[in-house]
Amino acid sequence: MAKHTTIRQALQQVADNPVLDTDELVNVHVYELVARALFEISNQPDSSIRGSMARANKARALILNRLVGKRRAGSHPATRHELPLEFDDLTAVPMPIEEATQDG
């Protein structure tokens, strides 16, 4: 029985190895051929062909959603967890260095 490969694994394999290892397409797995076709559609749109740009954008969205994952509604795309922020008061007059060393 053949090893199962997820869509994410197939896309990542093609992204890591953009050049096909062999010229014999009969020996290449179907998932790799499909992933390569998807990358080719997304990277080489032809503006002279009607619908080619929309097709490329759809392929890019498929690749992005499968490799990165969809963003949850209402969440910030850059972080998943809340990070605490500390703000320095820039309006206050800084203490001279001599006074700061005497106090502490």
Spans of all domains in the chain: 1-70
* Number of neighbours of residue 57 by Cβ within 10 angstroms: 12
**What residues have CB less than 8 Å from 20, skipping those under 6 apart?**
28, 36
Instruction: State both tokens at 25.
Output: 């397409």
The one-digit pLDDT tens for each residue of the chain (104 residues) are 468 888 889 999 999 988 888 888 898 999 999 999 999 999 998 889 999 999 999 999 989 888 887 777 776 665 556 667 787 777 777 667 776 566 55
Contact 38, 11 (CB under 8 A): yes
pLDDT of residue 86: 80
